[in-house]
Amino acid sequence: MQTVIQQETIKKKRERIVRRRDSWHLYLMILPAIVLTLLFVYVPMGGIVMAFQEYKPYLGITGSKWVGLDQFVFLFEYPDSSQVIWNTLRIAVLKLFFGTIATLTFALLINEVRKKWVRNSVQTFVFLPHFLSWVVLGGIFIELLDPKNGLVNQLLGALGFESIFFLGDNNWFLVTVVGTEVWKEFGYGSIIFLAALAGINPALYEAAQLDGANKWKQMWHITLPSLVPTIVVCLTLSLSQVLNAGFDQIFNLYNPLVYAKGDIIDTFVYRIGLIGGNYSFGTAIGLFKSVVGLILIVGGYRLAYKVAGYKIF
Where exactly are the structural domains of the chain?
2-53, 70-308
**Topology of the domain covering 70-308:** MetI-like fold (1.10.3720)
Q: What is the pLDDT of residues 189-211, one digit of tens each?
A: 888 888 888 888 888 888 888 87
User: Is residue 54 helix, strand or coil?
Assistant: strand
What's the rounded Cα separation, in Å, for the pair 49 and 46?
6
pLDDT confidence of residue 19: 62
The amino acid at 213: A
Q: What is the pLDDT of residues 22-38, one digit of tens each?
A: 667 777 888 888 999 99
Q: Which one of 14-18, 76-80, 189-193 scores highest in mean pLDDT? A: 189-193
Q: Which residue would you say has higher pLDDT here, 240 or 135?
A: 135
User: Is residue 53 helix, strand or coil?
Assistant: strand
Of the pLDDT bands very low, low, confident and very high (cuts 50, 70, 90), residue 46 is confident
| Among 173, 189, 232, residue whose Cα is nearest residue 98 | 189
Residue 249: CB atoms within 10 A of its CB come to: 21
Asked if residue 4 has pLDDT above 60, the reply is no
Contact assessment for residue 150 and residue 144, using Cβ atoms and an 8 Å cutoff:
yes
What's the rounded Cα separation, in Å, for the pair 187 and 122?
9
Please state the pTM of the whole predicted model.
0.79
Asked if residue 2 has pLDDT above 60, the reply is no
